[in-house]
Amino acid sequence: MGDVAVGARSGHDGEEHRGRPVEAADPASDSAVTSGSDSGATEDGTATEVRGGGPGDSAPAVKKQRSFWKELPILIGIALVLALLIKTFLVQAFSIPSDSMQNTLQQGDRVLVDKLTPWFGSEPERGEVVVFHDPDNWLAGEPVADPNAVQTFLSWIGLMPSATEKDLIKRVIGVGGDTVSCEGTGPLKVNGHALSESSYVYAGNTPCSQDDQGGQFTVKVPKGYIWVMGDHRQNSRDSRYNQSDKHHGMVPVDDVVGRAIVKAWPLNRWGTLPKPDTFDQAGINDKASASAALTVAPQGIALVGVVPVALWRRRKAAVERTR
């Protein structure tokens, strides 16, 4: 509206000005142009509001829009920063390198891992599928990928799964305080309760492996650690077969990257990774609670025993002083 007001002269005004000095123009016309809020009338009688400065004012400069090619590097930079932040704090993509989690996960699947909840103190729970750093050379002898520079950069910002990070993916079977055991071919037991694993253990596998390499075991999981196993029980080098390492096959909670929540690729295998119902069965926490109570019991018994003795000695001393 402003640039319209500066050049506002009707054709009728032009006829009146022809042949006479500009100073002789109708004062009312000059007033309409210089006023910033007065109303004027168009030739058809419709009232219009005229805004703008006087004849001496210049039209406001129109800001020139930056070209697309100049904005493109800025947009790419913002996208890269966002991708890096998402990978670091929210979600990261991982590629499944082996068959140890069949049929839940197939080799070549891409999963999205929730990295946000651990920042708020959330710890892995039984039944969850988690990604964790190699605790103590579990991947010794495994082939190492040799990505090119582009693949390395894209995996660094989280747009591609990392081909060089030494990470593993397994299912959490036991958490701190749990007792996990395998006898014969199974079933696998947690705190004395048998797990029904037919919904996720690889078809044809037995829940427990009969071998002398670690397939038969009874372990107590320390606080701050988890016990993990693959769903393809006869094709998974998991906690069972790493009991000779410095953590005795346990995975420190601090080494857990996050919880796998979605199978994102290929599209025909898209789906969530929920916790199986068998880990919610009644009583599965009983033994863990009992072990915690036993840890406190000696101190409680000692306190109960010491208090009467102390009172008895104080009373005895008071009697002796009165004699």
pLDDT band at 25 (very low <50, low <70, confident <90, very high): very low
Respond yes or no: is residue 289 known to be catalytic. no
CB 109 within 8 Å of CB 146: no
- Looking at residue 83, its pLDDT comes to 65
Residue 120 located in a structural domain: yes
Q: Which two tokens stand for residue 70?
A: 């100049």
- Looking at residue 116, its pLDDT comes to 84
- Looking at residue 60, its pLDDT comes to 60
List 95, 115, 162, 170, catalytic entry: 170
CB 50 within 8 Å of CB 10: no
Cα separation of 267 and 273, whole Å?
15
* Count of helices and strands (H, E) across the chain: 6, 14
Give the mean pLDDT of the chain.
74
Share of the chain above pLDDT 70, in %: 58
Q: What is the mean pLDDT of residues 83-88?
A: 62
Tell whether the model's pLDDT for residue 323 goes beyond 70. Answer: no
Residue 264 located in a structural domain: yes
Asked, as a colleague might, if the bond just before 266 is cis with ω within 30 of 0, I would say yes
Handedness of CA 295, 300, 303, 308 (dihedral sign): negative
Tell whether the model's pLDDT for residue 160 goes beyond 60. Answer: no
Cα separation of 306 and 294, whole Å?
19
CB 283 within 8 Å of CB 178: no
Residue 227 located in a structural domain: yes
Location of structure tokens 């039984």? 126
CB 208 within 8 Å of CB 189: no
How many folded domains does the chain comprise? 1
Query: pLDDT digits over 282-307, tens only?
Result: 889 875 443 333 333 333 333 333 33
Residue 180 located in a structural domain: yes
CATH number at residue 141: 2.10.109.10
Residue 35 located in a structural domain: no
- Asked which of 30-44, 73-87, 185-199 is least confident by mean pLDDT, the reply is 30-44
Closest CA to 218 of 249, 251, 172: 249
More confident call, 34 vs 119: 119
**Domain encompassing residue 147:** 91-277
Residue 111 located in a structural domain: yes
Respond yes or no: is residue 170 known to be catalytic. yes
Query: pLDDT digits over 67-78, tens only?
Result: 778 787 777 777
Q: What is the DSSP letter of 200?
A: T
List 100, 155, 181, 209, catalytic entry: 100
Residue 102 located in a structural domain: yes
Location of structure tokens 């009688």? 45
